[in-house]
Amino acid sequence: MDWDYLRYIHALAIGGTLAKAGELLGVHQTTVLRRLDQMEEALGVQFFERNRDGLQLTPVGETAFRNAEKLSVEMENLERKLVGQDAAPVGKVRLAAEDTMMSELLGSVLAELVREFPDIELEVLTDNDVTNLTHREADLTLRPENKPQATLEGERIAAIESAVYGSASYCRRHRNMDIENQPEDCLWIIPDDTFSHLATGRWYRKHLKHATSVIRCNSLHAMHALARSGAGLAVLPCYLGEGTKELRRLSDPLEGESVDLWVHVSQDTQQMARIRIVKEFLVDRLRAQASAIEFNPTP
Q: What angle do CA 86, 87, 92 make, to 5 degrees?
A: 65
CATH architecture of 91-159+259-293: 3-Layer(aba) Sandwich (3.40)
Measured between alpha carbons, how far is 8 from 55 in angstroms, rounded to an integer? 13
Measured between alpha carbons, how far is 140 from 154 in angstroms, rounded to an integer? 9
Measured between alpha carbons, how far is 128 from 252 in angstroms, rounded to an integer? 26
pLDDT band at 10 (very low <50, low <70, confident <90, very high): confident
279 or 84: whose pLDDT is higher? Answer: 279
The CATH number assigned to the domain with range 3-87 reads 1.10.10.10
One-character DSSP codes across 138-185: -SEEEEE-SS--TT-EEEEEEEEPEEEEEEHHHHHHTTT--TTT-GGG
Q: Which residues of 83-100 are buried (b: 16+ CB within 10 A; e: fewer)?
A: eeeeeebeeebbbbbbeb
Average model confidence (pLDDT) for the chain? 84
Beta-bridge mates of residue 139: none
Give me the pLDDT at residue 192, please: 82
- The mean pLDDT of 158-162, rounded to a whole number, is 91
Query: CA torsion, points 210, 214, 217, 222, in degrees to nearest 10?
Result: -140
Fold of 162-249: D-Maltodextrin-Binding Protein; domain 2 (3.40.190)
Find out whether 153 and 276 touch, Cβ atoms under 8 Å: no
Find out whether 98 and 197 touch, Cβ atoms under 8 Å: no
Measured between alpha carbons, how far is 163 from 250 in angstroms, rounded to an integer? 7
Same fold, 91-159+259-293 and 162-249: yes
Measured between alpha carbons, how far is 204 from 246 in angstroms, rounded to an integer? 23
Cα within 13 Å of Cα(17), Cβ side: 7
pLDDT band at 135 (very low <50, low <70, confident <90, very high): very low
Mind listing the pLDDT tens digit for each residue in 88-97? 678 889 999 8
Give me the pLDDT at residue 136, please: 55
- CB atoms closer than 10 angstroms to residue 74: 10
- CB atoms closer than 10 angstroms to residue 174: 16
Give me the pLDDT at residue 55, please: 87
Domain regions of the chain by residue span: 3-87, 91-159+259-293, 162-249
Give me the pLDDT at residue 82, please: 64
